[in-house]
Amino acid sequence: MLFNSISFLIFLPIVYGLYWWIQSWENFKHTISVQNILLLIASYFFYAYWNIWFLGLLIFSTSLDYFSGLKIENSATNQHKKIWFWLSISINLGLLGIFKYFNFISINLSELLGNFGWTYQPMLLLIALPIGISFYTFHGLSYVIDIYHDKIKAEKNILNYSLFVCFFPLLVAGPIERAQHLIPQLVQRKVFNRAKTINGLQQMLWGFFKKIVIADNCAVFVNQIFSDYENLNSSSLFIGAIFFSFQIYGDFSGYTDIALGAARLFGIELFNNFSYPYFSKSINEFWKRWHISLTSWFRDYIYIPMGGNRVNPIRKIINTIVVFLVSGFWHGANWTYISWGFLNSIFILPKTLSQKKQSIDSNKMAGKVVGAFQMLLTFLTVSILWVFFRSKTVYDALKYLQNLVYKWDSILPDFNGRKSALVLSIIIFVFMIFEWIGKSYNCPLVFTNSFKNKWLKWGFYYAIIFSILYFYRGNDQFIYFQF
């Protein structure tokens, strides 16, 4: 089920109403359990609405990690503990590898052997990639790893654990939660909080605006420009790269806003996955603000176990590159994602290796100018790197960037719909102003709480709702559903 669909707008109020109606059963001892059963059934329905057959895979993965966690914790010997740990890890990564990477590995193996004169017909699996498999697999992996290293206790209640993995707001595109953060919230008695409900709706509304008004409309021009990049001039390609930066940000952070807001309606707080990343002053800072749950996952379960920063410079370089290569490969079975991950690691290394901490006095005008320049430079760098993420092949990405540099035969763009692109650019500019104003909040719309004039406040909300309805283009998939 898509967040930006009529089905979800019917589904959510029904689940929300039933959830808080159950809460009103004051003399009932099992209110929390019934609420969690409701959320689990709703979550399974939410997932099965897309493809009921892959629901079985989700339940299998959940059951595997639940029972593995219990076996690891109750193992009498270290040997038994390791057996259950590696069994869970192997099956999880094996399933992820089969569904997501089998065809990629098979095709590349065929090409590699062909270079040595050997003929190998690649085996291909004609099967769809289960939505959200990378996300719910990482939920289970972190849970099992933490139990193995005695950081957490295994959850005895299978209902609570299943809901931790399958809670519908985060099920298909994150954020990637940790058991020690989410499970305690699931077992607590909830008290309806009007302020949290309003805040949740505000964040959802801003998420819908990001997705429908910004991302989906940027996608129209991005698709056109990237599919015809060989025939367009540099200014068009520059606009294409910039629009894709806002498309992927509006799409993924918009999804996250809707997810966090929806969870808050049920009294549950999820990890904040984005912290206004396009206001970063370096690539290093960008990765502390973008897809935070994934970045912290790789830091805790790959980078730190490899030695992290507590190693010599050569090892630190290797650790950083490995983490970003894995991050790129996690995003998709294509050399473009691997190249994108590698290039990000190269841009991050100078500051990672440097021991100096740059200090800028933001209260002085010079400091503000330097800070603004750093933000612009970081944004442009990220936008260039996104070209690899968006392109079909590495060759296409390199050719795109080559044309971007050398085809300045005209300053004016030469793609169709330039007037509409100009209107969209103005909307994006206004959007970023609101992001800047509201950057100290979990959602920019929170700043409207200070409006004393209720007509101004509601007029602002209605303007956003009208723009969402006006620019709505249909039930387009979220970009990160493919991961």
Residue indicated by tokens 């909300």: 461
For the record, the structure tokens of 10 come out as 């019917």
DSSP sequence for 235-247: HHHHHHHHHHHHH
What's the rounded Cα separation, in Å, for the pair 474 and 454? 32
131 Cβ contact list (under 8 Å, min separation 6): 47, 50, 51, 54, 172, 481
Query: Which distant-in-sequence residues (6+ apart) come within 8 Å of 51 by Cβ?
Result: 128, 130, 131
d(CA 255, CA 8): 13
Residue 369: how many CA atoms within 13 Å on its side-chain side?
Answer: 3
Cα 388 to chain center, whole Å?
A: 18
- The set of residues, in sequence order, having a beta carbon less than 8 Å from that of 42 and lying 6+ positions away, is 11, 15, 168
For residue 126, the 8-state DSSP code is: -
Report in angstroms the alpha-carbon separations of 91 from 43, 61, 83, 283: 23, 9, 12, 35
In a 13 Å sphere around the CA of 318, the CA atoms on its Cβ side amount to: 8
Cα–Cα distances in Å, from 100 out to 318, 367, 466? 25, 46, 39
Residue positions counted in the chain: 483
Catalytic residue annotation = 331
Side-chain half-sphere CA neighbours of 378 within 13 A: 21
